[in-house]
Structure 1
């Protein structure tokens, strides 16, 4: 029986000291670049933040732009400029210094964007020209102030542009490898670009990336997976999926289960180390107001996926205590458990879970701010709190 605190070899290549994962969480603590092409930069404060949480078996760093054209939210970092790479090197060095393992999540938001965040004010791009009605992104308003803006109508990617996206992701993966990441995760969930192509209702294209067949709808993701695995090698690439998810105004897909099982089989054939399963229903809205509502794991569906996917499954589903995490491992259907929000206020989460120590709770108003260390790196470890209490 798998234990939450036992070590594991992920993908046959990456040693993890436990089965606890810190999943990607946008925190908007980047620095502004000097040049327009610099983009938003990782920095020393971010290195401290991730280093504090390095006792996790695996850290998956926050969603990272593969290109300027994928920048859908303000203050999210990229991995496409030299300045960004220098910033990420601070992060990976600190995590490795503390004995941790860290992957980088690569994303392209597609239609979940606003022109104020894109080069030359260009329109967002998507699988089709259908706007994400009712959804918003953190961007600049007409007065130049940052706030939640409605998504804009996207321009459909041309066939050649979609094909070129493969090279864009491959270059981003190469940059991630150069700065010391142990692997990368492709963000194919939450209504972003890959899921926009995979959804059988939204994707009404008629080209080789069109919605007419399962192979065509998933082609973009598969081509990117092949390119990124070729860059990093088998066992160092993960994919995040969110079957049944609604975030980003995604329409209900009657073929969702069929698509999920097809993806599991095809990703396994391509040497993917893990599938990161966000098994939650997420309402329309924005990152700051969205409430995560766990959807109980469909054991029968996951068992079918387990049978065709040889890699690991990470389950991210509102976990906040040891008991539920261990019970989920006990099913034998998943291999690692991702604890999201608890990691914000508990840099020593592994130790707290292991010893039954109480968990701190973060002030939600500090999730996405420019207040530096406040609500970010100023949470003490429990041992420090306990020692101060004894001293007092």
Structure 2
């Protein structure tokens, strides 16, 4: 696609959630023509584009017919009809990330098997068919039991620490991973265009909610050695190259206490671990995704300032029309940027927005991030 023609390219996005919303905000800067398909008529993107279609993302015929009108199709969620995207790709439509990669990543079993087959370091695992199968692998405990499909935003993942926990094992096809005794959880967002040009965003450090398996805090840059940082970049590039993927790939990693880096999971799209890039980097992950799928030069990912990110989750015990407590207090703090996702209804642990915090000092960032977390509450 010639770069001078980008404003003529019709782009269809499967999914109208917050990732699509922030992608649109970047697309506006380049006058890009974005259309959205989403099952929710009140999705975060619903009122931001001229062409918003309500429809099921996994309906093969609907997705296929909808996709006919576009030159380029991309995603902001993996739970889509791969069969429809393959048909569209076969007919000459550009589909990035490629349907085969979406299919691979839709199933955590296939994803882990891919790592093993391609010598990508990852935790030890066994594939399981049901709860009885999980119970037969006591040697893997303590472990992490994951559903092969249907899991998202922390759902479909649970700890099996002891034999007593085996009774809660998933009774569907999945896997049991050996629990990694890690030092830190890291993430690298890497972009690759059709020409094969690659660029990584600086490594970030993640802190997860102890019960919900959702990112609670993010800090950039990660507090790691230069050697570890380079290993993380090399690994992220290795994964996206072996996938031969065009687009943006978030690679979540474990840094072990021995100094090794293991791939945990990947996401072939913009990702929660890259939201801070809107304020903290020369190019945001959303702009970079668009550059990659349009085969344009990738933007500089240099960090302008250290940053932290706090996810705004619906408070436990509250369901209904969202109310935001503590907003003015947070807005009065220097270097605090609030992003709300346009979701009218809140429920426990639903992602309602995020806050990016910038500061020259990592220690000050941590203090501010805690203050934001304690102050800004989403209730009903």
TM-score by length of 1: 0.28
Select the structure that is richer in strand: 2
The structure with higher relative contact order (CA 8 Å, sep 6+) is: 1
TM-score by length of 2: 0.29
